[in-house]
Amino acid sequence: MSEQFDVAVIGAGMVGASVSARLGATHKVALLEMEAQAGFHTTGRSAAIWIRNYGPPDVRVLTGLSYDFYQNPPEDIGTDRLAVGRRVLYLAPAAQTGALDALIAQDLGIEEISMARAKEICPAIIDGYAMRAGLESDGFDMDVAALHQFFLRRMRAAGGQLMLRHKAGRIERKNGVWEVETSSGAVITAPVVVNAAGAWGDEVARIAGLQPIGLVPCRRTAAIIDPAPWDVEHWPLVQSAAHDWYIRPEARAKLMVTPCDETPDVPHDVQPEELDVAIGIDRMQQALDINVRRVEHSWAGLRTFTPDRSLAFGWDNAVPGFFWCVGQGGYGIQTAPAASVLVAAMVKGEDPGPAGRIIPKINPMRFR
Ligand SMILES: Cc1cc2nc3c(=O)[nH]c(=O)nc-3n(C[C@H](O)[C@H](O)[C@H](O)COP(=O)(O)OP(=O)(O)OC[C@H]3O[C@@H](n4cnc5c(N)ncnc54)[C@H](O)[C@@H]3O)c2cc1C
């Protein structure tokens, strides 16, 4: 016995949840997730920051179009802290002033500030580390869990089904529809499959008998330290202009530190390497006078990139009804509100609105 749906979305991270919520208004959606918990992989491991000037141009379009959602979310979002202001301070040592110039030249709101001003904003900066500094003022911390749950609630309220512990193990096109058999033995059919499997995106395509597009999952490590005696609550996210380390305050007395590592890996439940944690702390300590007595907690997640590091949203041209929604790299949360609107419109064949101009550039078939 199989159950029929209009769309089967594979992967219940932020991408699959948000797309399912948007499609759920008009389509019967099955959202398949192999883990016992939605968001177990990359979505639950992000740094949760929205930065306008991050990622390639197509990503920035979706980041910008998501701004209003974060600032004026729907009433039932479930938190009054979906977006909490967090400026971004860029520090440029002598060898990185070119990188700072390039950031400022984009004209997307990064202004150069004096080192004296930078030190007022983040008093731990070590004299002599940086020659110049830039400040981006409209960044914010995102409540990722609240946003993810909001999309899952929306999807369910519209009659969609979240099917946890259902790994899509067989995906076959038969008589004009997809038949998806899961690890729990369920068989569902749907004319459309949306591949929102993150690091597993190429694997899901292979299961469906399609060629991969060259996705590369890359490990990124993060650690939480206690920066006492500093009170860091109102510090900005501080990073090198070349983006080889950053810190991000977590409440009053915690700091997240990362070496901005990007180590190619395979899709799995990735764990942090001690060496990467140590590199992150070492780079931070070259810039900031912070004594690290112990690492309270560390984790790693897979940021998955396409070969040109931009998004891959669109239909596979080898078979009808297989839609790719992958390549969100380090920007899948901040882009989710607008990206999901775009993807739902593309799947339905409707007017995609202002994001439509990026569709030709993010076609996954550019890698074939
Ligand atoms: C350290 C770190 C910091 C980051 N910081 C930020 C940030 O500040 N801002 C930002 O916007 N982004 C950030 N990101 C990136 C962001 O987290 C990702 O872009 C986003 O979570 C990707 O969501 P996803 O739904 O594609 O992936 P995932 O959350 O990994 O979801 C994919 C899901 O597919 C499921 N799946 C795979 N194969 C199958 C199958 N065969 N059947 C059923 N289910 C399957 C998996 O179990 C998984 O749950 C960060 C990432 C990391 C690791």
**Rg (alpha carbons) of the chain, rounded to whole number:** 21
Query: Apex CA 88: angle with CA 341 and CA 18, to 5°?
Result: 20
Atom 14 (ligand 1): residue with closest C-alpha?
Answer: 330
Residues carrying CATH 3.30.9.10, the chain: 87-138+217-304
Residue 189, ligand 1, Cβ within 6 A: no
- Topology annotation, domain 87-138+217-304: D-Amino Acid Oxidase; Chain A, domain 2 (3.30.9)
Q: Which two tokens stand for residue 55?
A: 């990622």
217, HSE (Cβ side, Cα atoms, 13 Å): 19
Q: Is 16 in the pocket of ligand 1 (CB under 6 A)?
A: yes
To the question of pTM greater than 0.95 for the whole model, the response is yes
CA distance 310 to 330: 10
Ligand 1 midpoint to CA 186 (Å): 24
User: Rounded to the nearest whole angstrom, what is the distance from the C-alpha of residue 198 to the centroid of ligand 1?
Assistant: 5
CA angle 180, 219, 242 (to 5 degrees): 130
* Contacts for 101 with CB less than 8 Å, ≥ 6 apart: none
Closest C-alpha residue for ligand 1 atom 41: 168
Residues of the chain with CATH 3.50.50.60: 3-48+144-215+308-367
Q: Whose CA is nearest to atom 12 of ligand 1?
A: 331
Start-to-end C-alpha separation, the chain: 36
Does the CA dihedral 123-124-127-131 come out positive or negative?
negative
Q: What is the CATH code of the structural domain delimited by 3-48+144-215+308-367? A: 3.50.50.60
pLDDT tens track, the chain, 368 positions: 689 999 999 999 999 999 999 999 999 999 999 999 999 999 999 999 999 989 999 999 999 999 999 999 999 999 999 999 999 999 999 999 999 999 999 888 999 999 999 999 999 999 999 999 999 999 999 999 999 999 999 999 999 999 999 999 999 999 999 999 999 999 999 999 999 999 999 999 999 999 999 999 999 999 999 999 999 999 999 999 999 999 999 977 899 999 999 999 999 999 999 999 999 999 999 999 999 999 999 999 999 999 999 999 999 999 999 999 999 999 999 999 999 999 999 999 999 999 999 999 999 999 99
